[in-house]
Structure 1
């Protein structure tokens, strides 16, 4: 019999109190030489502030000069290899990965020197001073060297007051690109969703424990747990809806989202090649890498709910699709322990022999199916809300001209129509998991 107790075990870096979020407050700042070089460079990037493509009417000639100097200083910065503190303490390793991720995305999306631009130098090149330690840390914590959901959300919060503890109103975001309330609230929305999802993980674990018992009492308990899960999913929908309260769609699309673009969004204007080159990283051998930027599709919580509810995004149940492949590919951007957790959950199987279902259990089984459909409908409504958010924050903005502040930036969020298509397919896959007599 599979061991379901590990559904909230430290082996998978999943905590009974915080779920996929770290159980301890993330490290706020590195120490020693890493602070002197990496943290200081990030402080400068945020204080200048660097701007997407260097553009916008708010950017002065002097500010552009300082931004170009910042880029030169990054290229000339000493190459550090992960210190013993980073290799032995996961909290510092995560902070270092976060700092390097923000530095790289600041560097890659800020304005280049005009002279260098004309010569075609440094196009799509992550300088060795960032690339070498970043890839080494990525290998250590088993996550790709690119900005991810884990970077911007799960490892990017702190407590306002350490004595008040891990409560909703005592959390704040640590690092942003724009320094805006909109960006902070965008990240915080996901933090609160992950935090609320802790109860969902508990309910799923208890349901699986009862499933292995399989008697009448177990079915009734499962029904209770799954109905509570439906209520948690409704809360997640409300939290997602509330992103509107403090995240402005125009600021998000034009001033925040372009910073997220990963290596797969870069095209060399001279050669037409896609991807970033990680300078000095031997294992990549000068090859352009196509890592994607952060996405809510990288949330381990949502993947776990899908697996538990039997929602198939692989396309194997019907015709294979690119979106199915995309959802599966998103798992490679999760921390390694969380991918292992998903695989463990998939491998839990049950013996389903309806011939042995007692007549006095049929009513309980039917009520369990009703509770299951109720939870699936709540999951569908959550995806409906995600589509509305995508339309408001991305699709509608794509049809507008950029505001003056961003007009000269030369950068634009992409993938709006593709995103809606992907979300539509996810919703369809959720509906397909309903019992036949409940499908619309």
Structure 2
């Protein structure tokens, strides 16, 4: 455990600013310091911009694939800033999933006009070439003000469906990330004084964390305001699916990223999901919440196969999804994990009132995080479990009654056993989320060491 002691307030401020910048963390937390770009400025990228700005109508009219076939294979050499690389990633991952899921069947082969620049952009950003939480949420919004916590003033840049429901689904996460931004500096301060046993500082940070988690949970509950569960399940969710564990939906080998001239590679990747939020993982790490689930929809088979092929203990789902986070954010979590956790201090048998207050504050924080995860379970039940048991009654009948569109209901339900739904990240959905919740409860039990 590293003390990371800072000798003076001035030194702390200077050091922390450089420290966080190194990991691409801003005053808005894991969100950028300014709202993402709405358009790539160089006219060279006009073909991409034309398609992405008309994506919902092109998908609805079934003209999208023809438009993509006419796209030139563009180079990424004219991208001149991180903001432009991020915008390119948003554009190309949306085109990727529109191509795979927006036709009369799942398209296994991604054309070079998408795959070649997407592979380049993904390599630069240290992200997989697929929709991720970063592309759907962190870099896919606009705001007239710099305070991104005001959900009602946020606007989404791009959606697949053009619905208010899809925009709201993304923007709730943006506001949650912004609301949680101050958690980063506060909890880093707490970690830095663990070895010096500054109980008051750690307790204050824990109390602040508890309040922030409650505010984030309140924002999560606003999902119900403008996102209809049936629209989400049957129209939006299918486009978020990846190519991992998707054989039943028509991708037995995943997606082939065609690079032309006979080159390319099959990839099986998870889709975008909130488990890829660095903020939530950060909270887990500082509280010492340990997750052991592998998250696979067929965990026994997957675990055994990975052990056999790699001769080592397979990584957990939470470790795996860090590969779906921007490289700097991933390295930040790895760095913080090496600093230790507040649970280590809370486990020390209390001998003073200060220690008692710290333990109480720690347990309050874990209880609040458990409550947040229960709210998430309620969201999943309302938006995925219950709609999966009903017929598709959405206005456009996206998944039924048309021979000219992929059966999106089967994509949403895609799993070996439809009574056990698979998440867009490829997990056995409810068992995984319940285990994650229960592991949070266990962390708060200071009579046991995890």
For the aligned pair, the TM-score class normalised by the smaller chain equals 0.7 to 0.9
Task: Give, in angstroms, the shift of residue 425 of structure 1.
Answer: 0.7
Q: 2:331 aligns with which of 327, 336, 340?
A: 340
Task: Give, in angstroms, the shift of residue 170 of structure 1.
Answer: 3.1
Task: Give, in angstroms, the shift of residue 44 of structure 1.
Answer: 3.4
Scaled by the length of structure 1, the TM-score of the pair is 0.83
Between 229-238 and 142-151, the greater mean CA deviation after superposition: 229-238
Q: 1:106 aligns with which of 87, 98, 101?
A: 98
Q: Does 1:44 align with 2:54?
A: yes
Within 1, Cα distance between the matches of 2:171 and 2:233?
17
Residue of structure 1 equivalent to 2:230: 250
Residue of structure 2 equivalent to 1:183: 166
Within 2, Cα distance between the matches of 1:234 and 1:352?
20
Task: Give, in angstroms, the shift of residue 183 of structure 1.
Answer: 0.8
Q: 1:2 to 1:281 in 2, by over 3 A?
A: farther
Q: Secondary structure at the match of 2:180?
A: helix
- Is the 2:191–2:340 Cα contact (8 Å) retained in structure 1? no
Post-superposition CA distance 1:188-229 (Å, at most 9, x none): 110111011012112202212332321xxx212221221121
Within 1, Cα distance between the matches of 2:228 and 2:288?
35
Post-superposition CA distance 1:288-331 (Å, at most 9, x none): 20011101000000000000000011369xxx986972222111
Scaled by the length of structure 2, the TM-score of the pair is 0.81
- Is the 2:287–2:341 Cα contact (8 Å) retained in structure 1? no
RMSD (Å), alpha carbons: 3.0
- Is the 1:265–1:274 Cα contact (8 Å) retained in structure 2? no
Residue of structure 2 equivalent to 1:143: 127
- Is the 2:140–2:158 Cα contact (8 Å) retained in structure 1? yes
Counterparts of 1:19-418 in structure 2, within 5 Å, are: 19-48=29-58, 50-51=59-60, 63-64=61-62, 67=63, 70-84=64-78, 86=79, 88-112=80-104, 123-159=107-143, 161=144, 166=148, 168=150, 169-214=152-197, 218-264=198-244, 266-267=246-247, 273-280=252-259, 286-314=264-292, 325-349=316-340, 362-403=352-393, 405-406=397-398, 407=400, 408=402, 409=405, 410-412=407-409, 413-414=412-413, 416=421, 418=428
Q: Secondary structure at the match of 2:120?
A: helix
Q: Secondary structure at the match of 1:22?
A: coil
Q: 1:34 to 1:258 in 2, by over 3 A?
A: farther
Structure having the larger proportion of residues in helix: 1
Residue of structure 2 equivalent to 1:419: 429
Within 1, Cα distance between the matches of 2:129 and 2:53?
21
Residue of structure 2 equivalent to 1:55: none
Post-superposition CA distance 1:389-408 (Å, at most 9, x none): 00000000110111262223
Within 2, Cα distance between the matches of 1:153 and 1:11?
21
Aligned residue pair count: 399
- Is the 1:234–1:378 Cα contact (8 Å) retained in structure 2? yes
Q: Structure 2 unaligned runs (5+)?
A: 6-14, 304-313, 416-420, 423-427
Within 2, Cα distance between the matches of 1:350 and 1:268?
41
Q: Structure 1 unaligned runs (5+)?
A: 52-62
Post-superposition CA distance 1:64-87 (Å, at most 9, x none): 4xx2xx313312421111023x1x
Within 1, Cα distance between the matches of 2:49 and 2:245?
26
- Is the 2:99–2:107 Cα contact (8 Å) retained in structure 1? no
Residue of structure 2 equivalent to 1:435: 445
Post-superposition CA distance 1:142-169 (Å, at most 9, x none): 100000100010001112x35x754514
Post-superposition CA distance 1:316-358 (Å, at most 9, x none): 9xxx98697222211110000000000100111489999xx99
Greater Rg over alpha carbons, structure: 1
